[in-house]
A and B are shown apart, each in its own frame.
Chain A
């Protein structure tokens, strides 16, 4: 295992995903400027918050001059799923030094999480560095997101809306979903989460998403309990690597 090789493996895995976040970043930048946020602050928001759906929600509320507390609360609650990613990926990060943990947390996204978890489940820690593969996937996402928002902020209204470019994001998640469905219980988790997400979509603060994720986890667990296979463990090595 080499730092360079593992970083490049992560970067290769994330390359196609980058295509999907470019339009999303352009939209985030253009929408921010349209809402009256200065371009520099539009980019600063991408650097500091670094979470697309949350930024779009905040931009919308800022544009309507909603109370500051409501804007902040909404932006944070939309990101509650990140807590689940944090818990899910934490066992693989256990051996990292403190600075590596803090940096890894900052660049944690849907895409970096899903790609890394798939890789970690398929490889042993000594054949693939958790830290460098993860950073190889996460840091290009970070860079492309910043550049795309900046370009969107500068182009502003000339980002075309009619092309439905935002649809590239759910398509990316769709591609990441299939490797996550490993067996019947995980398929059940996905199915129930999808249904509850649709039913819960009218809930405020994107809480439908969180409810859906919890329902999905519960469904998968119930399926395994009935089959007598809960808990299925063994994905996570006993000891994290020392990075």
Chain B
């Protein structure tokens, strides 16, 4: 489908989305810059952000929930196997390039098999 919007409207969307996104990025970098010392509770909570967000980005790319006809987990076997193999590589080697390379190769390999 192609858009019915003229370039002017698209500019408006791009600028508004860009400004809104920038405000989110800048928010706490400016705010916490004004505080001398972060409260320990806040620091203790923020400690969990990387693990939580990264896991939330990874898992739905491999497994998804389908609601019809009944709630069930749906997945493509090739993706799950590729992700498991990539996870082993990530865990054992800590090497990002190897994780991507092995994961993609596994995905294509399982895709070719069936």
Contacts and interface: CB of A to CB of B under 8 A. Distances in A.
B24 A79 contact: yes
A168 B105 CA distance: 11
Contact of B55 (A101, A175, A177, A236): A177
A86 B32 CA distance: 9
Nearest to B63: A198
B2 to A, nearest CB: 3
Interface size range of chain B in the complex? 35 or more
A139 interface: no
A51 B21 contact: yes
Contacts of B70: none
B62 interface: yes
A232 B60 contact: no
B103 to A, nearest CB: 4
B54 to A, nearest CB: 4
Contacts of A64: 1, 3
Contacts of B32: 87, 90-91, 93-94
A105 B22 contact: yes
Contacts of A96: 33
B40 interface: yes
Given A91-B32, A233-B44, A163 B108 contact: yes
Contacts of B18: 45, 48-50
10 contacts: A41-B10, A86-B27, A90-B32, A106-B25, A108-B29, A113-B50, A171-B99, A174-B58, A174-B83, A215-B52
B114 to A, nearest CB: 15
Nearest to A220: B48
Contacts of A202: 65, 67
B81 interface: no
B50 to A, nearest CB: 4
Contact of A65 (B4, B31, B54): B4
A157 interface: no
A32 to B, nearest CB: 10
Contacts of A144: none
A178 B24 contact: no
B46 interface: yes
A214 B83 CA distance: 24
Most chain A CB atoms below 10 A, which of B32, B91, B107? B32
Given A72-B17, A105-B26, A216-B48, A197 B3 contact: no
Given A212-B55, A236-B43, 9 more contacts: A62-B5, A64-B3, A68-B16, A76-B24, A94-B32, A171-B83, A190-B54, A198-B59, A235-B43
B13 A68 contact: yes
Interface stretch (A1-9, A15-23, A145-153): A15-23
A238 to B, nearest CB: 7
Most chain A CB atoms below 10 A, which of B15, B25, B45? B25
Interface string A61-102: 011110010011001100111111111111101101000011
